[in-house]
Structure 1
Amino acid sequence: MSKEQKDKVWKRDEINSPCIQVCVVHPVERICTGCYRTIDEIAQWSKLSPEERADITSDLGARASRLKVRRGGRGGRAARRAK
């Protein structure tokens, strides 16, 4: 395979996945806490058009506020009990 052919395969004008490999779905909001995509968006990502991917990607930042702030886990519980 020539360098030109390889470049066509590996250098495409596509929106990359926003996945950061922190795949945990929020139990209430049903979005990934790592990339903020819904399960359906994640599942369909490779089948979406570049325009659909761009639309989703532009909306991801606004979704972060939908996730509740963690209360500190075990340390947070201990601190609340100590009050």
Structure 2
Amino acid sequence: MKVADKVRSPCVSVCALDENDICVGCQRTGDEIFRWTTMTNEERRDVLVKVAEREKKVAI
């Protein structure tokens, strides 16, 4: 698989975990951030769905 085919990280270079272990910049958990480089594209897409759900909660 070419690098261009990999699902890209949602990192926005604002790296700080809140009291719930969620990054205030990209909305991933500490574990999701740690494991990102070893995840399959399917696993990454699953994380991005969770990120979108977390972002909705923050926006409220």
TM-score, structure 1 length as denominator?
0.62
Structure with more contact order per residue of length (Cα contacts < 8 Å, sep ≥ 6): 2
**1:22 aligns to what?**
14
Structure number with bigger Rg: 1
- The partner residue of 1:48 within 33, 39, 47 is 39
TM-score, structure 2 length as denominator?
0.83
- Equivalenced residues, count: 58
Q: Which runs of no fewer than 5 residues in structure 2 stay unpaired?
A: none
Q: Which runs of no fewer than 5 residues in structure 1 stay unpaired?
A: 1-7, 70-83
**Sequence identity (%):** 36
Alignment of 1:3-82 (within 5 A): 11-27=3-19, 29-64=20-55, 65=57, 67=58
